[in-house]
Amino acid sequence: MMSLLVSDAISGLGGAWSLKWVLDNSARCGSMCDAQAILKTVGDPGTAMATLAITVHTFFMIAFSWRPHQRDFRIPFVVVFISWTYRLGFVSGARASALPGKTLFAPSPYWCWISDHYNFERIPATYLWYWLTAGVSIVLYVPLYFVIRRNLDLDRERPWRLSVHRAPELGRVGGSSTVKLSLKVLLYPAAYLVTIVPNSVMRLIDFNGSGKIPAKWNFLCISLFNLGGLVNVLLLLFTRSNVLGFHAEMPKSAEKCSPQQRGPRRGRSASTVSSKCETACSVK
């Protein structure tokens, strides 16, 4: 989670760097342009990678009752290490392999990023992670919505086996909390798609020369994209506020959980699903 916030901060700093070009009335190649491009190349895909990791983590915790050991930091350490190594390695490798006479970073056109000479490199640099995360978010969060509402059951031992059925009356077994939790789950892919898709589609059209994008649409899409960090913080505040330290710690061991939380995987009540979701939504 901290990696997500740090990447958001780096991406936001890269976006704020554009104020210099506004004051100068144009973006120009040089050390300042290179600095902005590096910030964007490191920060932008970092938010996508962290969001992807959180998506997979949340799905396994709720759908399969997976509980990593509280003091086992190997998995998050490896994920964060791979993410940062990939991004920093990509920037270093791209700079080292830049062709003579073909600038790696250049205005595009309102802010600096990877130049038109390296169109293919833009895909593994950013777009691959944008669309991979968007696709995985839809594929995992939508079924999770039905798992929480008890329309769908997944077998922990054989995850390919699905059980689809009519959900019980929420008013009797889960109350409004189950409905709220299921809707919270859908906020994540919705927020990500709203901030990512317009900008990436606009940029792809612009890069491919499929049409001239008016400046006002460029600024609207990039403004939505640059609000991604704020959106992530708001989502944390409203759905995982414990991550930011605004609520007390959740129980740290299964022994401290209620009997419903330790119940069998099948035949669980909606309140049990809600408890698991609350735990996942407040995990650090």
The pairing of beta strand 105-107 with beta strand 162-164:
unpaired
Fold of domain 2-280: Rhopdopsin 7-helix transmembrane proteins (1.20.1070)
pLDDT digit string, tens, across residues 103-149: 999 998 788 999 988 988 999 999 999 999 989 998 888 888 888 77
Above 60 in pLDDT, residue 171? no
**What are the helix (H) ranges across 99-156?**
122, 128-148
Q: If pLDDT is split at 50, 70 and 90, which confidence band does 210 have?
A: low
In contact, 248 and 282? CB cutoff 8 Å: no
Above 70 in pLDDT, residue 175? no
Higher pLDDT, 63 or 16: 16
Q: Stretch 44-57: mean pLDDT, rounded?
A: 91
Structure confidence at residue 280 (pLDDT): 53
Long-range contacts of 164-173 (CB under 8 A, 24+ apart): 167/270, 168/270, 170/270, 173/269, 173/270, 173/271
Please state the pTM of the whole predicted model: 0.76
pLDDT digit string, tens, across residues 2-35: 888 899 899 989 888 888 888 888 888 999 999 9
Q: Stretch 170-197: mean pLDDT, rounded?
A: 70
Above 80 in pLDDT, residue 236? no
Higher pLDDT, 266 or 7: 7
Domain segments of the chain: what residues? 2-280
Q: What percent of the chain has pLDDT over 90?
A: 24
Average pLDDT score, the chain:
77
Q: If pLDDT is split at 50, 70 and 90, which confidence band does 199 have?
A: confident
Above 50 in pLDDT, residue 266? no
The span from the CA of 221 to the CA of 60, in Å, is: 33
Phi and psi of 23, rounded to 5°?
-65, -35
